[in-house]
Amino acid sequence: MMELEIEYLIRSLGIGATYRGYRYLRYGIQLCLDDEDYLLSVSKLLYPQIAKHYGTTSYSVEKDLRTIIKVCWDRGNKQLLQEIALRPLCSRPPSGEFFDILTAHLKHKSRTTSSV
Q: Which residues contact 56 (CB under 8 A, 6 or more apart)?
A: none
**For residue 77, what is the DSSP state?**
-
Q: At what angle do helices 95-114 and 58-75 cross, to 10 degrees?
A: 70
Q: Which domains are delineated in the chain? A: 2-111 (1.10.10.10)
Whether the CB-CB separation of 71 and 15 falls below 8 Å is answered with yes
- The answer to whether 18 and 11 have CB atoms below 8 angstroms apart is no
pTM (2 decimals)?
Answer: 0.93
Give the residue among 66, 26, 22 at the shortest CA–CA distance from 43.
Answer: 66
pLDDT value, residue 99: 97
pLDDT(116) > 70: no
Q: What is the pLDDT of residues 47-105, one digit of tens each?
A: 999 999 999 999 999 999 999 999 999 999 999 999 999 999 999 999 999 999 999 99
pLDDT tens-digit profile of 21-45?
Answer: 999 999 999 999 999 999 999 999 9
Residue 2 has pLDDT above 90, yes or no: no
